[in-house]
Amino acid sequence: MSLTLPGPLVDAEWLAAQLGDPRLRVIDVTYVMPGSGRDARAEFEAKHVPGAVYFDIDDIGDPVSELPHMLPTPARFAEKVGALGIGNDDAVVAYDSYGLMSAARGWWMFRVFGHDNVAVLDGGLRAWTAAGQPLETGPAAPAPARFKAGFRPALVRSLGNISANLQSGA
């Protein structure tokens, strides 16, 4: 039986109480802008929520698209998140270091591929550390898991869809 998340947002206190539950997976979805001189994976290895794995949006995304950060195929998503130790029965909590959009992007990606048991850590790593919670260092070494991805086209909109909405005033 999977761990049930309390909603789409969880706070540091809730997450701290659940750490160590084998049904919980925590992902750091921190993304840094190209050319910033920063390395999100190195920052993850310097400090992260205990037990977290690094969810690299660029590595998981579509490797053949000319556009950056495009959704992968369901098969690629399943392969990549399975390699991160995430299975279909796991509860997933996503966070990022800067409180930007990347944790929400990870949350959305899981939902697009059929995994609803996912939440965002409210306030991200900043809220976690402000609450006095522990940090861990070093690379993650998750045991691989099996993840079967579906696809929900209703959660994805194309440029044509957006353009039509703008023109119609919807």
Please tell me the predicted confidence (pLDDT) of residue 163: 86
Domain contains 40: yes
Instruction: For the beta carbon of residue 127, count every other beta carbon within 10 angstroms.
Output: 17
Domain contains 2: no
Please tell me the predicted confidence (pLDDT) of residue 80: 99
141-166 tens-digit pLDDT: 999 999 999 999 888 887 788 888 88
User: What pTM does this model have?
Assistant: 0.92
Structural domain including 69 reads: 9-168
Average pLDDT rounded to a whole number, residues 126-139 = 98
Alpha-carbon gap, residue 6 to 29, rounded angstroms: 20
Domain contains 4: no
Q: Based on the structure, what is the number of domains in the chain?
A: 1
Domain contains 56: yes
Please report, for the chain, how many H helices and E strands are present, in that order: 7, 5
Residue 124: CATH number of its domain: 3.40.250.10
Domain contains 155: yes
Three-class secondary structure of residue 120 per DSSP? strand
Domain contains 18: yes
> Given pLDDT bands bounded at 50, 70 and 90, which one contains residue 2?
confident
How do strand 91-95 and strand 9-10 relate by DSSP bridges?
A: unpaired
18-75 tens-digit pLDDT: 999 999 999 999 999 888 899 999 999 999 999 999 999 999 999 999 988 899 999 9
Domain contains 3: no
Instruction: For the beta carbon of residue 146, count every other beta carbon within 10 angstroms.
Output: 10
Question: Residue 93: which of 124, 57, 118 has the closest Cα?
Answer: 118
